[in-house]
Amino acid sequence: MVKVSVMYPNSAGVKFDMTYYLDRHLPMVRDLLGAALKGMSAEQGLAGGQPGAPAPYVAAVHMTFDSVDAFQAAFGPHTDVILADIPNYTNSQPTIQIGQVKL
Protein backbone atom coordinates (compact mmCIF):
# COMPACT_ATOMS: atom_id res chain seq x y z
CA MET A 1 0.00 0.00 0.00
CA VAL A 2 1.25 3.51 -0.76
CA LYS A 3 0.10 6.81 0.65
CA VAL A 4 0.04 9.95 -1.46
CA SER A 5 -0.02 13.07 0.71
CA VAL A 6 -0.82 16.44 -0.85
CA MET A 7 0.04 19.17 1.64
CA TYR A 8 -0.45 22.91 1.18
CA PRO A 9 2.32 24.99 2.80
CA ASN A 10 1.17 27.69 5.17
CA SER A 11 2.48 31.23 4.84
CA ALA A 12 1.54 34.80 5.66
CA GLY A 13 -0.32 35.41 2.40
CA VAL A 14 -1.90 32.02 1.98
CA LYS A 15 -5.57 31.72 1.03
CA PHE A 16 -7.45 28.47 1.35
CA ASP A 17 -11.18 27.89 0.81
CA MET A 18 -11.77 24.83 2.99
CA THR A 19 -15.45 24.62 2.02
CA TYR A 20 -14.67 24.43 -1.68
CA TYR A 21 -11.85 21.98 -1.00
CA LEU A 22 -14.02 19.60 1.04
CA ASP A 23 -17.27 19.99 -0.86
CA ARG A 24 -16.07 20.31 -4.44
CA HIS A 25 -12.41 19.51 -5.02
CA LEU A 26 -11.95 16.31 -3.00
CA PRO A 27 -15.24 14.74 -4.13
CA MET A 28 -14.19 15.43 -7.74
CA VAL A 29 -10.81 13.80 -7.12
CA ARG A 30 -12.48 10.79 -5.50
CA ASP A 31 -14.81 10.38 -8.46
CA LEU A 32 -11.99 10.66 -10.99
CA LEU A 33 -9.72 8.19 -9.21
CA GLY A 34 -12.47 5.61 -8.87
CA ALA A 35 -11.82 2.19 -7.36
CA ALA A 36 -8.02 2.63 -7.38
CA LEU A 37 -8.43 5.01 -4.44
CA LYS A 38 -8.51 2.85 -1.33
CA GLY A 39 -8.80 5.57 1.30
CA MET A 40 -8.88 9.35 1.65
CA SER A 41 -8.52 11.53 4.74
CA ALA A 42 -8.15 15.28 4.91
CA GLU A 43 -7.39 17.79 7.60
CA GLN A 44 -7.19 21.50 8.26
CA GLY A 45 -3.95 22.70 9.84
CA LEU A 46 -4.32 23.85 13.45
CA ALA A 47 -0.83 24.21 14.89
CA GLY A 48 2.80 23.20 14.71
CA GLY A 49 4.83 21.33 17.26
CA GLN A 50 6.07 24.26 19.33
CA PRO A 51 3.69 26.25 21.57
CA GLY A 52 2.13 29.02 19.47
CA ALA A 53 3.71 27.82 16.23
CA PRO A 54 1.50 27.92 13.12
CA ALA A 55 0.69 24.73 11.26
CA PRO A 56 3.34 24.02 8.59
CA TYR A 57 0.50 23.15 6.20
CA VAL A 58 -2.83 24.95 5.95
CA ALA A 59 -4.47 21.73 4.77
CA ALA A 60 -3.55 18.23 3.66
CA VAL A 61 -5.09 15.16 2.10
CA HIS A 62 -3.77 11.62 2.38
CA MET A 63 -4.83 9.03 -0.20
CA THR A 64 -3.98 5.34 -0.23
CA PHE A 65 -3.50 3.10 -3.27
CA ASP A 66 -2.37 -0.50 -3.74
CA SER A 67 0.87 0.61 -5.41
CA VAL A 68 2.65 3.52 -7.08
CA ASP A 69 1.63 2.05 -10.44
CA ALA A 70 -2.01 1.95 -9.37
CA PHE A 71 -1.80 5.58 -8.28
CA GLN A 72 -0.15 6.72 -11.50
CA ALA A 73 -2.58 4.78 -13.68
CA ALA A 74 -5.55 6.31 -11.88
CA PHE A 75 -4.20 9.85 -11.54
CA GLY A 76 -2.35 10.29 -14.84
CA PRO A 77 -5.33 10.68 -17.17
CA HIS A 78 -6.89 13.30 -14.86
CA THR A 79 -3.82 15.30 -13.83
CA ASP A 80 -4.68 18.37 -15.89
CA VAL A 81 -8.26 18.59 -14.63
CA ILE A 82 -7.24 18.13 -10.99
CA LEU A 83 -4.36 20.62 -11.10
CA ALA A 84 -6.49 23.18 -12.93
CA ASP A 85 -8.92 23.22 -10.01
CA ILE A 86 -6.31 24.19 -7.40
CA PRO A 87 -6.49 27.97 -8.03
CA ASN A 88 -10.21 27.77 -7.26
CA TYR A 89 -9.43 27.21 -3.56
CA THR A 90 -5.85 28.21 -2.85
CA ASN A 91 -2.78 30.16 -3.88
CA SER A 92 -0.55 27.63 -2.06
CA GLN A 93 1.56 25.29 -4.19
CA PRO A 94 1.21 21.79 -2.74
CA THR A 95 4.04 19.61 -1.52
CA ILE A 96 3.53 16.01 -2.61
CA GLN A 97 4.85 13.00 -0.72
CA ILE A 98 4.55 9.42 -1.94
CA GLY A 99 5.33 6.89 0.76
CA GLN A 100 5.30 3.14 1.32
CA VAL A 101 2.90 2.36 4.15
CA LYS A 102 4.79 0.39 6.79
CA LEU A 103 2.37 0.51 9.70
- Residue 19 and residue 26 in contact, taking contact as beta carbons nearer than 8 Å: no
* Crossing angle of the two packed helices 68-75 and 26-33, in degrees rounded to 10: 110
- Residue 30 sits at the vertex; the CA angle it makes with 14 and 102, to the nearest 5 degrees, is 85
Size of the site for a copy of itself (CB under 8 A): 36
Residue 43 interacts with a copy of itself (CB under 8 A): yes or no: yes
Residue 44 interacts with a copy of itself (CB under 8 A): yes or no: yes
Residue 21: C-alpha distances to residues 9, 61, 97 (Å): 15, 10, 19
Q: How far is the CB of 51 from a copy of itself (least distance, A)?
A: 10
- Taking CB under 8 A as the criterion, the residue among 66, 68, 69, 77 binding a copy of itself is 68
Residue 33 interacts with a copy of itself (CB under 8 A): yes or no: no
Residue 32 interacts with a copy of itself (CB under 8 A): yes or no: no
| Number of neighbours of residue 68 by Cβ within 10 angstroms | 12
Residue 49 interacts with a copy of itself (CB under 8 A): yes or no: yes
Residues that bind a copy of itself (CB under 8 A): 2-3, 5-7, 18, 22, 26, 40-49, 55-57, 59-62, 68, 94-103
